[in-house]
Amino acid sequence: MGMDRDVQFIGQSTAFLDAVERASHAAPMGRPVLVIGERGTGKELIAQRLHRLSPRWGEALVTVNCAALPETLIEAELFGHEAGAFTGAARARAGRFEEADRGTLFLDEIGTLSMAAQERLLRAVEYGEVTRIGNSRPISVDVRIVGATNADLPAMVEQGRFRADLLDRLSFEVVTLPPLRAREGDVSELVDFYGRRMASELGWTEWPGFTGEAMDALEAYPWPGNVRELRNAVERAVYRWDDPYHPIAQVVFDPFESPWQPHAGAPPAGAAESAGPDEAEGRDPSPATTEPCRDLRAAVEAYERTLVSEAMTRHRWNQRRAAKALGLTYDQLRHCLKKHALLDEPVSPS
């Protein structure tokens, strides 16, 4: 699936536009840029923008997913190797640095690089030279590096898992992409964009949009998978809706949700039917603790928060279904969510 199909630059929120503007400003420089953001926020799209708005736009943009390659092969992939340099190296091969010469090298999930690969990367960044495995003669390369990660690299430096000198070199500019839940007003714009595009792909002559209730659900959902997850949910909703003349009223956030869905360590079939109402909902009527209680109120509050949080996660943050499962009214659940600050920091559904 092509990059442009994956994540589009749609949105008007200040947080989002600030990040795009920062990338645009850094693009003409030949210096390294780090792009930080959760999965699905569009890090690769920012790398494309950095390349296209730079003087290197006519040369190659080479992408390496550092997490997708075994540690033993990442150095050969990046720096190349000579024939016979290691078992399986039948012929010499240029590395990705050589392929990206005069262009841009996008290192996705850069936080997963081994310390040995980080050391070689530092040399390449510092001296503009790479040495193929099995050779001692360095090759000069002119490469602009864009690194992307959802890891906390400064924290990894503190823990000794990422080289401080490499981080200093790579962080000339840092573009941090906001998660979708922080992009005020952008959900409706993205829903409209992906919905219309899917409708046209299906040959619909008009776009009925979503019902008010469906839009409320889309806007209330925390989107742990960000724009990519939203695109999938919206396209799936349009594709499953058979009536192009009436607004779409159903959105399935979890395509795996099914009464027959297998669960890791699930009880044998039939066990749930014989359980009482508490057990069937996955609620243990008494807290699973035998510790002596020194603060009853705090313990009760903590237990209530856990039950509410678990119910919300289990029902994919659908507040009405979670309220019903807990035997609360919608308003009582809203009160609980506010009291335990669960509205401010949605727990991402696993």
Are 103 and 226 within one domain?
Answer: no
Domain stop point among 163, 178, 193: 178
State residue 277 phi and psi, 5-degree precision: -60, -35
Same domain for 169 and 233, yes or no, is no
Residue 7: pLDDT band with limits 50, 70, 90 = very low
| Residue where one domain finishes, among candidates 240, 259, 291 | 240
Of 261 and 164, more confident:
164
Q: What are phi and psi of 317, to 5 degrees?
A: 60, 20
Confidence of residue 336 (pLDDT cuts 50, 70, 90): confident
CATH number at residue 227: 1.10.8.60
Give yes or no: residues 76 and 222 share one domain: no
Residue 176 pLDDT greater than 70, yes or no: yes
Q: What is the share, in percent, of the chain residues with pLDDT greater than 70? A: 87
Distances (CA, A) of 77 to 65, 83, 133, 162: 10, 14, 10, 20
Residues 161 and 198 in one domain: no
CA separation (Å) from 48 to 27, 173, 186?
10, 16, 21
Say if residues 305 and 287 touch (Cβ distance below 8 Å): no
Rounded Cα distance between 123 and 139, Å, is: 12
Same domain, 11 and 131: yes
Higher pLDDT, 85 or 15: 15
Number of domains in the chain: 2
pLDDT(144) > 80: yes
Position 269 scores a pLDDT of 52
Using 50, 70 and 90 to split pLDDT, how confident is the model at 276? very low
CATH number for 60: 3.40.50.300
Is residue 168 domain-shared with residue 216, that is, in the same domain?
Answer: no
Rounded to an integer, what distance in angstroms lies between the CA atom of residue 341 and that of residue 350?
19
How high is the pLDDT of residue 279? 40
Residue 291 forms part of a structural domain: no
What is the average pLDDT score of the chain? 86
Residue 223 located in a structural domain: yes
The reported pLDDT for the residue numbered 286 is: 43
The predicted-structure confidence for 105-118, as pLDDT tens digits, reads as follows: 999 999 999 999 99
Selection from 24, 132, 128 nearest residue 82 by Cα: 132
pLDDT at 293: 60
Question: And the tokens for 278?
Answer: 């508490």
Note whether 165 and 56 are same-domain residues.
yes
* Model confidence pLDDT, tens digit, residues 37-63: 999 999 999 999 999 999 999 999 999
Residue 174 lies in a domain: yes
Could you tell me which of 246, 224, 248 has the C-alpha nearest to residue 234?
A: 248
Residue 259 counted as domain residue:
no
Looking at the structure, do residues 61 and 24 belong to the same domain, yes or no?
Answer: yes
Nearest residue to 313 (alpha-carbon basis) of 281, 339, 350 = 350
Tens-place pLDDT, residues 286-317: 444 445 566 777 777 777 788 888 888 888 88
Whether 156 maps to a domain, the answer reads yes
Residues 185 and 129 in one domain: no
Question: How confident is the model at residue 303, as a pLDDT?
Answer: 77
Tokens of 254: 């979890």
pLDDT in tens, 209-262: 999 999 999 999 999 999 999 999 999 999 999 899 999 999 999 999 888 988
Asked whether 42 and 3 are in contact (CB, 8 A), the reply is: no
Residues 206 and 83 in one domain: no
In this prediction, residue 133 carries a pLDDT of 87
Q: What percent of the chain has pLDDT over 90?
A: 62
Q: What is the pLDDT of residue 298?
A: 73
139, part of any domain? yes
For residue 302, is it within any domain? no
> Do residues 114 and 222 both lie within one domain?
no
- Would residue 324 count as lying in a domain? no
- Whether 166 and 195 share a structural domain: no
Q: Which of 228-242, 260-274, 314-328 has the lowest mean pLDDT?
A: 260-274
> Does the pLDDT value for residue 283 go beyond 50?
no
Domain ends where: 240, 262, 285?
240
Report, as an integer, the average pLDDT of 174-180: 96
- 3-state SS string over the chain? CCHHHHCCCCCCCHHHHHHHHHHHHHCCCCCCEEEECCCCCCHHHHHHHHHHCCCCCCCCEEEEECCCCCHHHHHHHHHCECCCCCCCCCCCECCHHHHCCCCEEEEECHHHCCHHHHHHHHHHHHHCEECCECCCCCEECCCEEEEEECCCHHHHHHCCCCCHHHHHHHCCEEEECCCHHHCCCHHHHHHHHHHHHHHHHCCCCCCCCECHHHHHHHHHCCCCCHHHHHHHHHHHHHHHCCCCCCCECCCCCCCCCCCCCCCCCCCCCCHHHHCCHHHHCCCCCCCCCCCCCCCHHHHHHHHHHHHHHHHHHHCCCCHHHHHHHCCCCHHHHHHHHHHCCCCCCCCCCC
**Given this model, what pLDDT does residue 257 score?**
85
Distance from the first to the final alpha carbon of the chain:
25
d(C-alpha 29, C-alpha 7), whole Å: 25
* pLDDT for residue 348 is more than 70: no
Least reliable range by pLDDT among 26-30, 138-142, 257-261: 257-261
pLDDT of residue 285: 43
Question: Which one has a higher pLDDT value, 331 or 61?
Answer: 61
Structure tokens belonging to residue 193:
């964009």
**Which structural domain, as residue segments, surrounds residue 223?**
181-240
